[in-house]
A and B are shown apart, each in its own frame.
Chain A
């Protein structure tokens, strides 16, 4: 069964840092693009950033709102996708979802249940 499980959320003060992890299972992790998507309370989803597949050297893209503050990385040995967040702002408060992108069309076909980050 394809599964994504996020962890690491919590309460952090403005200006602080937090590291989220996503444990992936049930599929070939290195063959898929992976994304982080967040959703602030009462708002729609917002794309945070992407890690391309191994064939594309796990290169990354970021939303302008987080570029320079957030970093996406992978640990192949653990099938884990991480999101290192620094210089956190109150507007970063959201549920953070890890998503897998389908190999051909690169749309988000599998979502984790999310982990909550509160910056206050």
Chain B
């Protein structure tokens, strides 16, 4: 199984900050990676697919990069609605697996 390691597990940031979250996989997954945002009591929401492609309707302040085993999600200017937990997930092979999550909190 492919292991997904997200870092940090949590971070505190201020409105307007640039935030970067990292996801590392235990095997080469090419660009078969997605990022999700989840708010308390809600289902995850798709943000990024194919490592760097923005899902329809998602604001351009979100961006993704990477390929192979190292990936990043960047939020260019953090807004109040962005405080949430973020997960990476690979879809390169079975089983599909998720990272442990990064909780973004208000400083």
Residues on A lying within 8 angstroms of B by beta carbon are: 35, 44-47, 50, 61, 63-64, 97, 101-102, 105-114
| Chain B residues closer than 8 Å to A50, beta-carbon distance | 94, 96
Do B97 and A47 touch (CB < 8 A)? Answer: yes
Do B44 and A45 touch (CB < 8 A)? Answer: yes
Q: Is the contact region of chain A dominated by helix, strand, or loop, or is it mixed?
A: strand
Do A61 and B94 touch (CB < 8 A)? Answer: yes
Do A108 and B34 touch (CB < 8 A)? Answer: yes
Is B55 interfacial (CB-CB < 8 Å)? yes
Task: List the A residue with the shortest CB-CB distance to B85.
Answer: A44
Give the distance in Å from the alpha carbon of A61 to the alpha carbon of B95 in the complex. 8
Do A44 and B96 touch (CB < 8 A)? Answer: no
Give the distance in Å from the alpha carbon of A81 to the alpha carbon of B42 in the complex. 21
Task: List the B residue with the shortest CB-CB distance to A64.
Answer: B95
Task: List the A residue with the shortest CB-CB distance to B46.
Answer: A109
Do A107 and B44 touch (CB < 8 A)? Answer: no
Q: Is the contact region of chain B dominated by helix, strand, or loop, or is it mixed?
A: loop
Give the distance in Å from the alpha carbon of A101 to the alpha carbon of B94 in the complex. 14
Task: List the B residue with the shortest CB-CB distance to A114.
Answer: B43
Shortest distance in angstroms between B6's beta carbon and chain A's nearest beta carbon? 9
| Chain A residues closer than 8 Å to B36, beta-carbon distance | 45, 108
Taking CB atoms and an 8 Å cut-off, the chain B residues in 30-53 that contact chain A are 32, 34, 36, 38, 42-46, 49-50
Do A102 and B97 touch (CB < 8 A)? Answer: no
Further pairs besides A61-B95, A107-B32: 15, Cβ < 8 Å: A44-B98, A44-B101, A45-B87, A45-B98, A46-B98, A47-B89, A47-B98, A102-B49, A107-B34, A107-B49, A107-B91, A108-B34, A108-B46, A108-B89, A111-B43
Do A105 and B49 touch (CB < 8 A)? Answer: yes
Which residue in A106, A109, A114 is a CB contact (below 8 Å) of B55? Answer: A109
Do A111 and B95 touch (CB < 8 A)? Answer: no
Give the distance in Å from the alpha carbon of A106 to the alpha carbon of B49 in the complex. 9
Closest 5 CB pairs of A and B: A111-B43, A47-B96, A107-B34, A107-B49, A44-B101
| Chain B residues closer than 8 Å to A44, beta-carbon distance | 87, 98-101
